[in-house]
Every structure is written in C-alpha cells, then in structure tokens.
Amino acid sequence: MGAEAGESVFRRVAVGCDHGGFSLKETVLEVLGQLGIQAADFGTSSEESVDYPSFALPVAEAVSRGECDAGILLCGTGIGMAIAANKVPGVRAAVCGCSCTAALTRSHNDANVLALGARVTGGALVQDAVRAFCTTPFDGGRHTGRLRAIAEIEEKYGPGGSERGG
C-alpha cells in the first residue's frame, strides 16, 4: 500500500464503546477528525452501565460488511470488546495499549479493529495508538499466508466447514 508517512490508510472508521470506555471515546473521535477520517459512532453515549457485546457487534459487522474500513472499540480493558468482535467473520481485532503494538498489529496482522482499554491505558497512549493504527499499512509478504491460515480456521468452523457437522 502506498500511504505517505502520517497519512491515514482508512477513510471511514466505526467507533463503539461501553460505559468503561466512554471516557476516551471523544478523544478517539478527535484523533480520527485530525486524520481526516470519517467516523461512524455506534455509541454508547454515557457512563450508564451497558453490555459491551451489544456495541462490539454493530462495529464488527460494519467492518465485516465493508461499510467501514476499520473499527475502534473501547471498554474497560479492551479485552471483552476484542473477544466479541473476533466472533464476526473477517474481523481481526487486537487489544493494544501503545503505538508500538497498534502499528505492529496493522503491519503484521492486518488488524481491522483496534480495541482499547480506557481503565488501563491513559489518554495520551490511546491517542498515539489510534494514530499508529490508522496510519500503518499492512506489510503483506510473509504475513499474507498467515492471515490465510487464520481465515481457514474460521472457514473450518463456519457454515459448511468440516467441524460443523450436518
């Protein structure tokens, strides 16, 4: 891919959070705006307690269907959001707490969902992680076959897959 340094590789990014991630959602939206990325905000919109899978699902589906190029999810740790999002076919969600892992999960894993933990990662690190995630292209090369192997696991357990029985 031919993105210039600091240029976004995504045009439209889906964003979602639960009450544990709400405190940093605005920060994420601001960084996306600075990068010229259109954000689709799937909520939540307050610190009232909600269930994170309800917000992971629409974000992951928007990515899986190609309606958004990528997603960013926030909860207390990022972990629940990533577990839920990774159940949706085609989604590769990664929990990252710094720019280093956020860049590597793009360049090595072609991650299409970034999961952040607002209770464990400070605002400055979240800003750095979002910038790195959105500006780092997939390296391709030796990583491509590994992604294919991940997709084959998904197919094995999906409809018509050998582990689904009949």
User: Site residues (CB under 6 A) for ligand RB5?
Assistant: 18, 20, 52, 75-77, 79-80
Nearest distance in Å: CB 116, ligand RB5: 10
The catalytically annotated residue of 17, 19, 68, 75 is 75
Q: Which residue's structure tokens are 């605002």? A: 123
Within the chain, residue ranges assigned H as helices are 25-34, 53-64, 79-85, 99-107, 123-135, 142-157
Q: Which is nearer to ligand RB5, 77 or 136 (CB)?
A: 77
Please state the closest distance from residue 80 (CB atom) to ligand RB5, in A: 2
What is the number of other CB atoms lying within 10 angstroms of the CB of residue 43? 16
The answer to whether 108 is a known catalytic residue is yes
* Shortest spacing between CB 118 and ligand RB5, in angstroms: 8
The answer to whether residue 19 is catalytic is no
| Cβ-based burial of 66 (10 A; exposed 0-12, middle 13-18, buried ≥19) | exposed
Q: What residues are paired with 115 via a beta bridge?
A: 73, 95
Rounded least distance, CB 110 to ligand RB5, Å: 23
| Closer CB to ligand RB5, 75 or 134, in the complex | 75
Q: Name the β-bridge partners of 39.
A: 13
Nearer to ligand RB5, 9 or 59 (CB): 59
Residues classed as catalytic: 75, 108
